[in-house]
């Protein structure tokens, strides 16, 4: 950070520990943070404090007289404010430290009853303490990297002329069917909406409106599924990044774009997030740094059918791939990510573009090792008569009626187009190698989990 930027930091907020690490020595500063640990020596008192602005902590050194035990209840977890001068550290493990001449405890913390203890806790225990678990080094780092991943993705998309669109979360469509959408209502005003209202399962249909004007659009927003999956990778509410592009007329060009997007945005994250560990950096590079193999659903089933002994459910043409099949393809066959393309039309939603074989659709799921699907995309059916037939076959008459506007898009200047949806939390889970998706989300929502 250069001097100009340093000065531009608004005086409204005290200096963050991340910024302070770039300040000149001998600067007089006020710094705030939560105490990680404290140690007393005869003449000096030391505390390590963190403020979550980066993975770095700051050592505060004070004359023992200043921090007399009993006078100032400075314990792990307490929030303190230190006044002093930044200096080169005499100790090891840090370059800079703050020599304090005044200390205040702005938020005491009763060490006995504080749920977060120095020795560390299991992920399971921390899930019972969601209002405190972000104070652990691991969870605060996950949150910072999550924020940086989202910003890297948005920044790259902006550089490519993509426009972020804010599609509604409340919608009249329950399209993917199966009653997996939550319903929304107002207790006080039961007639608030003139018909049933649902929480969106995907912004895609709405994004197609925008793509037919602005060409390249994306949405980054929560989506909702009332599915009772109790797995390590499903949530009832999660954030999805969805891209939709006009003038995209082959599945290969769509997948080329998806690959480029993943490579460039994960690359940006790897370069900018200095606290990311080498293992994650290398996983992202290995996974997205080279072309991802593509295999058709039919070829995938052929391969899987040769290993019936490996599966609980026998892979069979015309049936959906199970998690165990996806895992086998990634872990045993491709030993890395793979796009599975061209599924049977019968297994996929009404809006996917029918291939010339009239049996399969121009779609792909991206499977990642140890994870399964993180991204699904397709060309969208842009021929009005083919779409109409597909809607009538797959949707209720009421749904067809309420989707007249979607059919109308095909009648007036409809470009070939396509897009994909990426499970943002899952991608992060993969990047950081986190076992359970509940641990990359501050307050996860699953069946039964509504606390907070």
Site residues for its own copies, 165-224, by CB under 8 A, read 165-173, 179-180, 182-189, 192-195, 197, 199, 206, 209-210, 212-216, 221-222, 224
Nearest to 436 by CA among 122, 116, 123: 123
Nearest to 137 by CA among 285, 268, 231, 33: 33
Q: How far apart are CA 298 and CA 304, in angstroms?
A: 10
How far are the Cα atoms of 67, 163, 334 from residue 157, in angstroms, in the given order?
51, 8, 29
Site for its own copies in 269-288 (CB under 8 A): none
* Beta carbon of residue 216, minimum distance to its own copies (angstroms, whole number): 7
Q: Do residues 45 and 61 touch, judged by C-beta distance below 8 A?
A: yes
Q: Which two tokens stand for residue 366?
A: 């991206």
Q: Which is nearer to its own copies, 193 or 313 (CB)?
A: 193
* Beta carbon of residue 314, minimum distance to its own copies (angstroms, whole number): 29
Q: Which is nearer to its own copies, 91 or 190 (CB)?
A: 190
Residues in contact with 120: Cβ distance below 8 Å, sequence separation at least 6, in sequence order: 136
* Beta carbon of residue 405, minimum distance to its own copies (angstroms, whole number): 4
Q: Which is nearer to its own copies, 260 or 396 (CB)?
A: 260
Exactly one of 260, 286, 396, 433 binds its own copies (CB under 8 A); that residue is: 260
Count of positions on this chain that bind its own copies (CB under 8 A): 123
Contact region with its own copies (CB under 8 A), list: 4-12, 281-289, 347-355, 365-373: 4-12
Q: How far is CA 41 from the centre of its chain?
A: 44
Region of 289 on the Ramachandran plot (φ > 0 left; ψ -120 to 50 alpha; else beta): alpha
Site for its own copies in 86-125 (CB under 8 A): 106-110, 113-115
Q: Which is nearer to its own copies, 369 or 418 (CB)?
A: 418
* Beta carbon of residue 271, minimum distance to its own copies (angstroms, whole number): 15
If DSSP codes are grouped into helix, strand and coil, which group holds residue 316?
A: coil
> Could you say which DSSP state residue 334 is in?
I
Site for its own copies in 11-30 (CB under 8 A): 11-14, 16, 18-19
Q: How far apart are CA 403 and CA 395, in angstroms?
A: 10
User: What backbone phi and psi angles, to 5 degrees, belong to 105?
Assistant: -95, 105
Q: How far apart are CA 113 and CA 104, in angstroms?
A: 22
* Beta carbon of residue 135, minimum distance to its own copies (angstroms, whole number): 4
Contact region with its own copies (CB under 8 A), list: 21-29, 31-39, 283-291, 361-369: 31-39
| 426 near its own copies, rule: CB under 8 A | no
Contact region with its own copies (CB under 8 A), list: 36-44, 95-103, 248-256, 287-295: 248-256
| 32 near its own copies, rule: CB under 8 A | yes
If DSSP codes are grouped into helix, strand and coil, which group holds residue 288?
A: helix
Exactly one of 34, 350, 351, 430 binds its own copies (CB under 8 A); that residue is: 34
Site for its own copies in 308-367 (CB under 8 A): none
Q: Which two tokens stand for residue 5?
A: 């930027």
Exactly one of 68, 158, 307, 385 binds its own copies (CB under 8 A); that residue is: 158
* Beta carbon of residue 16, minimum distance to its own copies (angstroms, whole number): 5
Site for its own copies in 391-420 (CB under 8 A): 402, 405-406, 408-409, 411-416
Q: Do residues 355 and 361 touch, judged by C-beta distance below 8 A?
A: yes
Nearest 5 degrees, angle CA 80-CA 81-CA 87? 115
| 452 near its own copies, rule: CB under 8 A | yes
Exactly one of 61, 103, 246, 273 binds its own copies (CB under 8 A); that residue is: 246
Nearest to 223 by CA among 450, 447, 421: 421
Contact region with its own copies (CB under 8 A), list: 159-167, 281-289, 335-343, 385-393: 159-167
Residues in contact with 18: Cβ distance below 8 Å, sequence separation at least 6, in sequence order: 53, 54, 56
Please name the helix (run of DSSP H) or strand (run of DSSP E) that holds residue 450, with its range, or none. Answer: none
Contact region with its own copies (CB under 8 A), list: 90-98, 128-136, 288-296, 336-344: 128-136
Contact region with its own copies (CB under 8 A), list: 3-11, 84-92, 291-299, 326-334: 3-11
| 128 near its own copies, rule: CB under 8 A | no
User: What backbone phi and psi angles, to 5 degrees, belong to 275?
Assistant: -85, 0
Site for its own copies in 37-66 (CB under 8 A): 51-54
The length of the chain is 452
How far are the Cα atoms of 25, 39, 382 from residue 399, in angstroms, in the given order?
67, 67, 18
Contact region with its own copies (CB under 8 A), list: 144-152, 296-304, 307-315, 352-360: 144-152
Contact region with its own copies (CB under 8 A), list: 64-72, 134-142, 290-298, 361-369: 134-142
């Amino acid at each position: 950070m250069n001097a100009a930027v340093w000065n531009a930091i608004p005086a409204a907020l005290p200096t963050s520990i991340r910024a302070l690490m770039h300040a000149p020595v001998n600067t007089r500063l006020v710094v705030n943070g939560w105490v990680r640990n404290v140690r007393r020596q005869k003449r000096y008192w030391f505390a390590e404090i963190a403020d979550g602005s980066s993975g770095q902590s700051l050592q505060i050194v004070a004359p023992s007289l200043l921090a007399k035990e009993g006078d100032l209840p400075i314990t792990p977890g307490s929030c303190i404010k230190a006044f002093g001068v930044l200096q080169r550290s005499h100790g090891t493990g840090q370059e800079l430290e703050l020599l304090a001449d005044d200390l205040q405890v702005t938020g005491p913390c009763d060490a006995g009853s504080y749920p977060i203890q120095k020795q560390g806790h299991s992920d399971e225990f921390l899930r019972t303490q969601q209002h405190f678990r972000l104070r652990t080094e691991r969870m605060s780092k996950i949150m910072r990297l999550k924020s940086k991943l989202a910003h890297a993705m948005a920044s790259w998309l902006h550089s490519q002329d993509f426009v972020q669109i804010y599609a509604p979360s409340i919608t009249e469509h329950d399209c993917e069917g199966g009653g997996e959408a939550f319903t929304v209502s107002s207790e006080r005003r039961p007639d608030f909406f003139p018909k049933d209202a649902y929480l969106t399962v995907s912004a895609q249909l709405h994004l197609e409106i925008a793509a037919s004007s602005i060409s390249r659009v994306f949405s980054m927003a929560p989506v909702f599924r009332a599915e009772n999956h109790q797995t390590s990778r499903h949530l009832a509410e999660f954030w999805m990044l969805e891209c939709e592009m006009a003038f995209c007329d082959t599945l290969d060009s769509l997948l080329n774009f998806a690959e480029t997007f993943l490579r460039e945005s994960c690359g940006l994250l790897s370069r900018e997030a200095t606290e990311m560990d080498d293992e994650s950096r290398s996983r992202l590079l290995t996974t997205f740094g080279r072309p991802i193999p593509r295999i058709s659903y039919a070829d995938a089933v052929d391969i899987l059918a040769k290993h019936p002994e490996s599966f609980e459910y026998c892979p069979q043409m015309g049936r959906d791939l199970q998690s165990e099949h996806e895992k086998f393809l990634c872990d045993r066959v491709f030993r890395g990510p793979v796009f599975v393309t061209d599924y049977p039309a019968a297994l996929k939603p009404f809006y996917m573009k029918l291939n010339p074989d009239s049996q399969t659709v121009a779609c792909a799921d991206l499977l990642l090792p140890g994870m399964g699907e993180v991204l699904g995309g397709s060309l969208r059916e842009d021929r009005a008569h083919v779409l109409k037939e597909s809607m009538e076959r797959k949707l209720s008459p009421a749904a067809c009626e309420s989707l007249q506007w979607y059919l109308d898009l095909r009648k007036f200047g409809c470009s070939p187009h396509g897009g994909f949806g990426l499970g943002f939390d899952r991608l992060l889970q993969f990047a950081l190698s986190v076992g359970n998706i509940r641990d990359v989300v501050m307050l996860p929502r699953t069946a039964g989990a509504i606390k907070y």
